[in-house]
């Protein structure tokens, strides 16, 4: 059998590297306060390597996979400082995004070059995906685990290392075992992977039988037990409290459905207009109808024949896309990186549609003969233009460039304990010194405040930072051990109001600004 050309995979990999790395052409942006969540997870890892166990000693709202994965970075910080240690993690996620793009291409490779260029090309330039895979967030890990699991479950075709490796896996034992283990890895990072696990379990059960489903469950359960088990043994009920109870108690964000839908747009970098929102709604309806139709037809085919089901990857991808998209769209809260969760399944479906359109175009050309319109060239040109526009959208900056962190790191080094959001503390190279000195500065200031607010019984709203007295009391308790603090700029929302603001300003004085934070120092007696 002829080996598919590698050039399309190389092309989409280069495109993925370009869009993800574009933001870091200025290396100073690698250490900028670009994202709160990755700095928070890194700070939890710093606490872990200094003997403070997540859940028991430190609040952490997800399974322990990411803090464990970041422990090499926390050790590295002793030589490089926190900001550059996290920068290494961000660079690693950029490369992981390139790997995910190639995996999408490998899954589509048997369908032809058009499928690879459409599906993997879309994934390479999809704005929410690119933004997510520039920083060390959880979704890229979920993506790579899913794509590897799908590759393991894919029937081997053709030569090459991937095909030879897949052919060694038995379809009802080792293949589902490995796919389950990969899904289990994802579950140790974020509970949303449970949605993926359920869909893949249904697919394995329907296409390979009960025995294979048992191997799939066994692989996932073994990984979860090995990774999460020690934390449950040491922290006991605190694991459930943080990952489930505290998560459920987070204030809901009141986002219009149109806002969430807009975050899925490949052109989101250009902003929103009335006509683009209307086009997005129409496109959303078309995609939703196509997904439902694909699932209905595919499940009916599965019911008729298991052999047909084994060959039908498209229905699996559609089931994943529906389940994951619904998870994101109905979640109590929403952040930009949530849109990356269903993106790989949607990209695979786009590639399948591209292959189908290519086949349909060939049939039309044969019927029209030489006198027909060169649809292949026209379609290829339009597709390249769309991908180029998407790439521009993905490369547009979402925040102003930040200056070097040298001055703020020098300022923080002159203090014993520096309090603030993890993004500010890490940028100032203060996370590791805080941990070494035993400072009462939690990695997740926001989550700690939410937990205090929910325990108080007071209403928790979307403006908990501004309105909840339990939150401000918890903040002041933490600040009691600090001699310096970062606060958001006033235009980003004041954290202290009324009596809390008065008490804080009695103890601290504003000494400067390091965008996007204010610098405060404790007043001398």
Residues 166 and 114 grouped into a single domain = yes
Q: DSSP labels for 257-323?
A: HHHHHHTT-TTGGG---HHHHHHHHHHHHHHHHHHHHHHHHHHHHHHH-HHHHHH-HHHHHHHHHHH
Range of the domain at 452: 406-522
**Does residue 2 lie within any of the structural domains?**
no
pLDDT per residue as tens, the chain (525 positions): 445 678 999 999 999 999 999 999 988 899 988 888 999 999 999 999 999 999 999 999 999 999 999 999 999 999 999 999 999 999 999 999 999 999 999 999 999 999 999 999 999 999 999 999 999 999 999 999 999 999 999 865 444 455 555 567 888 899 999 999 999 999 999 999 999 999 999 999 998 899 999 999 999 999 999 999 999 999 989 999 888 887 776 666 656 677 888 888 888 888 877 777 788 888 888 999 999 999 998 888 887 776 666 678 999 999 999 999 999 988 888 889 999 999 999 999 999 998 888 877 777 666 666 555 566 677 778 888 888 888 898 888 887 788 888 899 999 999 999 999 999 999 999 999 999 999 989 998 877 877 787 777 766 655 445 566 777 788 788 888 899 999 887 655 566 666 667 878 889 999 998 878 899 999 987
Q: DSSP labels for 381-447?
A: HHHHHHHHHHHHHHHS-SSPPP--SHHHHHHHHTSS-EES-HHHHHHTT-HHHHHHTT----S-HHH
Residues 457 and 342 grouped into a single domain = no
Q: Which residues contact 295 (CB under 8 A, 6 or more apart)?
A: 315, 318, 319, 322
Residues 487 and 379 grouped into a single domain = no
Residues 257 and 353 grouped into a single domain = yes
**Does residue 496 lie within any of the structural domains?**
yes
**Does residue 185 lie within any of the structural domains?**
yes
Residues 184 and 315 grouped into a single domain = yes
Whether residue 516 is preceded by a cis peptide bond, meaning omega within 30 degrees of 0, is yes
Structural domain ending residue among the three candidates 354, 375, 395: 395
Q: What is the DSSP letter of 224?
A: H
Residues 509 and 391 grouped into a single domain = no
Q: Name which of 413, 419, 438 is nearest 485 in CA terms.
A: 419
């Amino acid at each position: 059998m002829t080996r598919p050309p590698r050039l399309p995979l190389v092309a989409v990999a280069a495109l993925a590297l370009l869009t993800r790395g574009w933001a870091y052409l200025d290396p100073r942006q690698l250490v900028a306060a670009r994202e709160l969540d990755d700095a928070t997870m890194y700070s939890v890892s710093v606490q872990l390597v200094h003997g403070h166990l997540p859940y028991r000693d430190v609040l952490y709202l997800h399974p322990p996979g990411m803090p464990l994965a970041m422990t090499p970075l926390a050790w590295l910080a002793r030589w490089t400082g926190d900001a550059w240690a996290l920068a290494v993690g961000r660079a690693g996620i950029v490369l992981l995004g390139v790997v995910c793009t190639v995996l999408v291409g490998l899954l589509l490779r048997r369908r032809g070059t058009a499928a690879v260029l459409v599906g993997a090309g879309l994934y390479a330039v999809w704005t929410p995906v690119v933004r997510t895979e520039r920083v060390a967030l959880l979704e890229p890990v979920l993506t790579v685990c899913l794509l590897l699991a799908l590759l393991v479950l894919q029937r081997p075709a053709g030569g090459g290392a991937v095909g030879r490796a897949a052919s060694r896996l038995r379809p009802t034992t080792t293949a589902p075992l490995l796919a389950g283990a990969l899904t289990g890895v994802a579950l140790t990072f974020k509970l949303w992977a449970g949605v993926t696990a359920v869909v893949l379990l249904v697919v394995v059960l329907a296409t390979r039988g009960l025995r294979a489903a048992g191997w799939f469950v066994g692989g996932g359960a073994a990984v979860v037990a090995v990774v999460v088990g020690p934390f449950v043994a040491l922290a006991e009920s605190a694991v459930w409290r943080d990952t489930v109870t505290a998560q459920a108690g987070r204030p809901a964000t009141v986002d219009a459905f149109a806002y969430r839908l807009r975050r899925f747009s490949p052109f989101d970098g250009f902003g929103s207009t009335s006509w683009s929102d209307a086009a997005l709604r129409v496109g959303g309806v078309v995609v939703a109808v196509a997904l439902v139709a694909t699932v209905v037809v595919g499940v009916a085919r599965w019911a008729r024949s298991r052999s047909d089901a084994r060959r039908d990857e498209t229905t699996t991808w559609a089931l994943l896309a529906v389940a994951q998209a619904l998870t994101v769209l109905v979640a109590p809260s929403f952040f930009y990186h949530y849109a990356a969760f269903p993106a790989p399944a949607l990209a695979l479906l786009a590639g399948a549609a591209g292959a189908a359109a290519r086949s349909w175009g060939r049939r039309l050309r044969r019927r029209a003969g030489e006198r027909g319109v060169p649809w292949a060239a026209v379609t290829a040109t339009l597709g390249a233009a769309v991908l180029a526009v998407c790439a521009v959208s993905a490369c547009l900056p979402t925040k102003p460039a930040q200056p070097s962190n040298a001055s703020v790191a020098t300022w923080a080094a002159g203090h014993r304990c520096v309090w603030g959001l993890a993004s500010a503390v890490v940028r100032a190279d203060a996370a590791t010194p805080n941990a070494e000195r035993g400072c009462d500065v939690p990695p997740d200031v926001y989550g700690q405040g939410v937990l205090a607010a929910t325990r108080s019984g007071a209403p928790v709203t979307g403006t908990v930072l501004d309105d909840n007295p339990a939150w401000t009391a918890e903040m002041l308790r933490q600040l009691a051990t600090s001699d310096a603090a970062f606060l958001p700029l006033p235009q980003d929302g004041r954290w202290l109001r009324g009596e809390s603001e008065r008490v804080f300003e009695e103890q601290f004085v504003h000494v400067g600004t390091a965008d996007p934070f204010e610098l405060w120092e404790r007043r001398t007696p």
